[in-house]
Structure 1
Amino acid sequence: MKIIVPMAGMGKRMRPHTLTVPKPLIPIAGKPIVQRLVEDIARVCGEPVEEVAFIVGRFGSAVEKSLVAIAESVGAKGTIYYQDEPLGTAHAILCAKPSLSGPLVVAFADTLFKADFTLDSSVPGTIWVQKVADPKPFGVVKLNEKGQITDFVEKPETFVSDLAIIGIYYFQDGDYLRDELQYLLDNDIKDKGEYQLTNALENMKNKGTIFVPGQVTEWLDCGNKDATVFTNQRYLEYLKERGEKLVAASAKITNSVIIEPVYIGENAVIINSVVGPHVSLSGSAIVEDSRLSNSIVQTAAVVRHANVANSMVGNNATLIGQPSDLSLGDFNTLRV
């Protein structure tokens, strides 16, 4: 089994945090979004993962090394490919053309999920979906009476279905997928100005490929600050249910109250504070004389004399004062 992870987008809705790091490397419960995603897919695959291929922008060697390490952490080889132009989902996947063979999962790196199933590799294809209130921003599917997918529609302007594609796909035959993606580019077949994966899926379905919908217990979005903070909240609850250890032994907690679930990273320092619930505090962060809830505080950040909720504080940022809802980027200082 292979995992293909397109993640070349600029993450504009997550600025200022994505000015210094790619969005998929923002931490959720102490680990980068993309690492959580790869680990979750490896958990449900039911067979060893041999390769994880990441399609990235020009993020630099440090980011690429961290991605290879994520692949190695699940026992797989890590491979890096580049998408230099944002030409659509089909184009992004095809950038990993040498790795598109055999059974594989394609997973776009701005979503997480909670699921209690093992992937059924006996079916030709599985498209994971979730019901949504407003399907217009998504690709959606329609089903027949057998529960098989009959239509793929990209960002419908009028209602056709409320089953949104969440960005995770299983293909039994990666070579077949590769050829269908290449067909779109060779014939300049676009939808809304881009090469779309849904067009390739539609062509495959018309040739007789049976796709079935996959269901997740919960779909967690990381598209903007508020969505990412909420995803962190739900993921902490999920990890607590699984019984995972979330507080590092090296963390120094003095005269403080910790309200679970929280993640506290290596060498974090908490003094005279209340932390939690739903706080992720990355390694070497410092919290003093403060109240934190429902927030993400990243590596080596400092929070003093503050009441912080529904917030993200970036790497090496410093916050001193009283704001209660903020998004403070890396290396910034805010005094109120």
Structure 2
Amino acid sequence: MKALVLAGGSGTRLRPITHTSAKQLVPVANKPVLFYGLEAIAETGIREVGLVVGDTHAEIEAAVGDGSAFGLEVTYLRQEAPLGLAHGVLIARDFLGEEDFVMYLGDNFIVGGIKDQVARFAARRPAAQIMLTKVGDPRQFGVAELDARGQVIGLEEKPAVPKSDLALVGVYLFSPAVHEAVAELKPSWRGELEITDAIQWLIEAGLDVEASIITGYWKDTGNVTDMLEVNRLVLESLDRRVDGAVDAVSEIVGRVVVEQGAVVERSRVVGPVIIGAGTRIRDSYIGPFTSVGADCTVTGSELDYSIVLRGTSIAGVGRIESSLIGHHVEVTASVSTPKAHRLVLGDHSKVQIGT
């Protein structure tokens, strides 16, 4: 069995971060989201991975290399534009050959990995196996409809009126039968070749499509809220480790990782928190569920429930929370200016303004 990892999306929901960075490389607990997926694939025993890349291919190739760091052999497959998940399968046809494969979306995060799902597919070998989970707003996802026996009878991509609350998790397992389905597809109203349409083709062709509903944690890390939530979850599993320098007046509370070369001075750090190598924290407070990347400086400031990427400087800005801050950003205090209120008030209004 092989693996196909899709990492060619543009990440519009994470802009402006993704104007300059691949969304799959935005870090969770100081490790790119894509790396968690590659590690999950390696745990299944799969070794050959086709990595579909787009405009950010140079950055992803530099980060992943030949895959040997993950115990994998990576072949890069260039997608000229994000034309849909099924298009990723289409351009990978020669790489995949006639083997079964798992398709993994590079910006997804699944607790517990996919080893059991791969083993189930290998044992039963349906034409396709999908993973589902209940979501609050299924309009944002591919949605599955099941019959009374739990069999898949229909799929829709981002429907305006969903037929269920069961969203497709970004991991699919396919036999070579999917290639015939993909070859028959026409672009959807979104201008993309939809993997949901390919699976629907398999269903209508009378082939076996199985589904399992997962109850564990899954996130599509496509927006800031989800990135912060996944970061929180990963940090929950931290083991305390202080390899950097912490002065005698600083306080380190709970599960905190201070990487080699990091320095904490006159500061309080309350875990779970990770502080990257070469970062300096001075006269500051770092609160729970915060990841500070390598080579950053935080001075006279407070950070809470946030992700700060490599090389960023934050100085004298008071409290920052629930934030995602990119690479090599400078955040400083502004010069104090007089406050003013701009009002448009109807007749006979009564307004109280604090001084």
Q: How big is the shift at 1:272?
A: 1.9
**Counterparts of 1:77 and 1:144, CA distance in 2:** 40
* Alignment map for 1:19-58 (pairs within 5 Å): 19-43=19-43, 45=44, 48-58=45-55
Structure label with greater radius of gyration: 2
CA RMSD of aligned residues (A): 2.4
* Alignment map for 1:83-122 (pairs within 5 Å): 83-101=79-97, 102-115=99-112, 118-119=116-117, 120=120, 121-122=122-123
* Alignment map for 1:1-336 (pairs within 5 Å): 1-43=1-43, 45=44, 48-69=45-66, 71-101=67-97, 102-115=99-112, 118-119=116-117, 120=120, 121-123=122-124, 124=126, 125-171=128-174, 173=175, 175-184=176-185, 188=186, 190=188, 192-206=190-204, 207-239=206-238, 246-306=257-317, 307-321=319-333
Q: How big is the shift at 1:231?
A: 2.2
**Counterparts of 2:190 and 2:59, CA distance in 1:** 34
- Structure 1 contact 205–211 (Cα < 8 Å) conserved: no
Q: 1:127 to 1:285 in 2, by over 3 A?
A: same
Q: Secondary structure at the match of 1:319?
A: strand
Q: 1:95 to 1:309 in 2, by over 3 A?
A: same
- Structure with more relative contact order (C-alpha pairs < 8 Å, separation 6 or more): 1
Q: Secondary structure at the match of 1:129?
A: strand
Q: Secondary structure at the match of 2:294?
A: coil
Point out 4+ residue stretches in structure 1 off by more than 6 angstroms: none
The AA in structure 2 aligned to 1:4 is L
- Structure 2 contact 256–269 (Cα < 8 Å) conserved: no
**Counterparts of 1:287 and 1:237, CA distance in 2:** 23
- Give the TM-score, by structure 2 length: 0.80
Q: Which deviations, in whole Å up to 9, do the C-alpha atoms of 1:44-99 show, x marking residues without a partner? A: x3xx1212222111325343132335x32221111111111332221123222222
Q: Give ranges in structure 1 of 5+ residues lacking alignment.
A: 323-336
The AA in structure 2 aligned to 1:147 is G
- Give the TM-score, by structure 1 length: 0.84
The AA in structure 1 aligned to 2:109 is L
**Counterparts of 2:320 and 2:100, CA distance in 1:** 45
Q: How big is the shift at 1:298?
A: 0.7
**Counterparts of 2:41 and 2:258, CA distance in 1:** 24
The AA in structure 2 aligned to 1:230 is E
Q: Give ranges in structure 2 of 5+ residues lacking alignment.
A: 241-254, 335-355
